[in-house]
Amino acid sequence: MYEVDDEVIIKIEIPGVPKEDISLTLDDRQLIIRGTRGNPLEKLGLIYHQMEINYGEFERILMLPPGVDTKNIKAELKEKEGFLYITISKKE
């Protein structure tokens, strides 16, 4: 999470998670990000010796800084990059 002149930007790395499997909830100044990363190889019945990708459900709770306009929030998933960008305007 970082701040520029007129907005706060949150950049979250979530490769392999389609936008329909991501939810954002705003509760006062808490931003709750939930999602599910499915394992496409799970149905193949493979025996894993090592895995460095986490699959399943995830949740992150971020406390937004004071002075943000929680009524003016946008989210954009750039699937090719594997990043979710959330921008929140600052109050004037």
Over residues 5-46, the pLDDT tens digits come to 999 999 999 988 999 999 999 998 899 999 998 877 777 778
| pLDDT at site 33 | 96
- Say which CATH number the domain at 79 has: 2.60.40.790
pTM of the model: 0.84
Residue-wise pLDDT for 51-74, tens only, equals 788 888 999 999 999 999 999 999
The number of distinct structural domains making up the chain is 1
The two most distant CA atoms of the chain are separated, in Å, by: 56
| pLDDT at site 60 | 95
Distance, in Å, from the CA atom of 13 to the CA atom of 46, rounded to the nearest integer, reads 26
Torsion of CA 4, 5, 7, 10, to 10 degrees: 0
Domain containing 31 equals 2-90
Distance, in Å, from the CA atom of 20 to the CA atom of 22, rounded to the nearest integer, reads 6
